[in-house]
Structure 1
Amino acid sequence: MEVQQTQNTAIEKTEEITESKEELLWYAMRVTYRRELSVKDKLEAEGIECFCPMRYEVQTVGRRKVRSHVPAVHNLLFVRAGEERLKEFKSRVPYLQYMTRPLDGKNRIITVPDRQMAQFMAVASAENDKLIYLIPEEINLAKGTKVRIIGGAFNNVEGIFVKVKGVRSRRVVLLVEGVTAVALTEVSPDLLEVLK
């Protein structure tokens, strides 16, 4: 009995060491049937870092209006894990799927660089009702100017200053390539630094 417990402990320590050596990446994931919050809870229960962009929405329940915290982009979840650990988790949760994009004639799993993800999380976590979530195809980034915001709530966030459909003024758009884009609230031009 003690030998079995010792072996189990050794296996767990080996798994921890292997996992710590494994490169952690941010993966863009699809969660079918709007189960993003239940999957997020399962990931967090296993100590896997994840992020689900959220927003407030006013819903009518009966005769009352209730302000609810809901996913800003349905079926989207970002997971930071090592490749093997994520594969193992996915094998137990079949409705969690990799997002892919075509590259060099093959579909490649979408990963997001740490710096870009940190900026996206900072913006998406802001309690701001005027953030607009878009799919990348909804905007023409080629017509925009690459900028960095200097000062204010979004200090050091880099994005594209561009016209967004349905909005009067131009906005800074932060793009997670192939996944989503978020248009920030109006930013004063004197807070923008043009990047080359």
Structure 2
Amino acid sequence: MFELFGFCVRTLPYFAYLCPEVRPRGSNCGRLSYTEAARRQASSSGKDGQEPALTTRSAGKRGTPLSHEKPHHKQSTPNPNEKRMTENILSETVWMPLQTIYNKELLVGEYLREKHIEYYIPMSYELHEAHGDPEQGRRTLVPAIHNLLFIRCRYDEEWCRRFVRESPHPVYFLKRERAGNGFCTVGEAEMQNFIRATNPDIEGTRFVNPEKLKGKKGTPVRIVKPGPLYGVTGTFVRYGGKHYIAIQMPQSTTLIKVSYTWCELIE
């Protein structure tokens, strides 16, 4: 009997290793190896429907998960030059001739000022008699072209139609073609040339209907005489027995009285 008891004592550790349920607490003989623990953890996580995380030790980083997701491709960033070009196109502004009726161009100008919209009305000086002294007069700036002004804005046909509806004064935009839907526009360089030519301090400037110059021959020239008109371009024409430089705009033509010696030909 004592021999049987001694046999049981000697075989108890091996029996505990084979049957984990009866391992004594604190016993080192029943601990799982690292490989066995990893295998059991992987199998238990797989039961929950989740894919077990893989680990690698070859790279020297123990326990680093290897992702099963597809590599994320970095989205191509747009060319900064193309982006800048697109922004310039969207932010580009043009000048548009705006017409009114009943000589309300100054009232329309006040409305545009309230809306913070840049505009231009060609002006000229007129001599008015002073009250009580007919021999003395005063110079007053008045619109040189009635019922016509120019506004600077982005070209948007829908915005133009909404502006016409909301304006407290009767206005309308000039069309490129009588039967078309597009509105007439004026480029920045052309408009600046017109603004310099219509400087009210320049004497002798006239504004005529473009139909009056229809069929007249002219020569493209540029003013080269130093002064406020230096660099202004136009067409050298003869009108009413005098020579002028004509700057043609929608609904109006500006005539600057200059000498041909001030000009050079534009090839």
State the distance in 2 between where 1:148 and 1:190 align: 11
State the distance in 2 between where 1:111 and 1:43 align: 18
Alignment partner, residue 57 of structure 2:
none
Which runs of no fewer than 5 residues in structure 2 stay unpaired?
1-86
Alignment partner, residue 125 of structure 1:
199
Correspondences of 1:24-43 after superposition (within 5 Å): 24-43=93-112
**Which residue type is aligned with residue 124 of structure 1?**
T
How far has the Cα of 1:66 moved from its partner? 4.0
Which runs of no fewer than 5 residues in structure 1 stay unpaired?
1-17
State the distance in 2 between where 1:111 and 1:181 align: 16
Correspondences of 1:1-196 after superposition (within 5 Å): 21-60=90-129, 63=132, 64=134, 65-82=137-154, 83=156, 84-93=158-167, 94-102=169-177, 106=180, 108-140=182-214, 142-151=216-225, 152-165=227-240, 168-176=241-249, 178-187=250-259, 189-196=260-267
Q: In the superposition, relative to structure 1, how do residues 141 and 115 fare at CA in structure 2: closer, same or farther (>3 Å)? A: farther
Cα pair 1:56 1:129 within 8 Å, conserved? no
Aligned residues: 173
State the distance in 2 between where 1:192 and 1:39 align: 37
For residues 51-109 of structure 1, what are the alpha-carbon distances to aligned partners after superposition, in whole Å with 9 as ceiling and x for unaligned? Answer: 00001112347654443211001000101112254444322215121123536x53642
Greater strand fraction, Structure 1 or Structure 2: 1
If the length of structure 1 is used for normalisation, what is the TM-score?
A: 0.77
Q: Percent of aligned pairs with the same residue?
A: 26
State the Cα RMSD in Å: 2.5
Cα pair 2:243 2:257 within 8 Å, conserved? no
State the distance in 1 between where 2:160 and 2:117 align: 9
**Which residue type is aligned with residue 123 of structure 2?**
M
Larger radius of gyration between Structure 1 and Structure 2: 2
SS of 1:128's equivalent in the other structure is: coil
Cα pair 2:196 2:228 within 8 Å, conserved? no
Q: In the superposition, relative to structure 1, how do residues 171 and 128 fare at CA in structure 2: closer, same or farther (>3 Å)? A: same
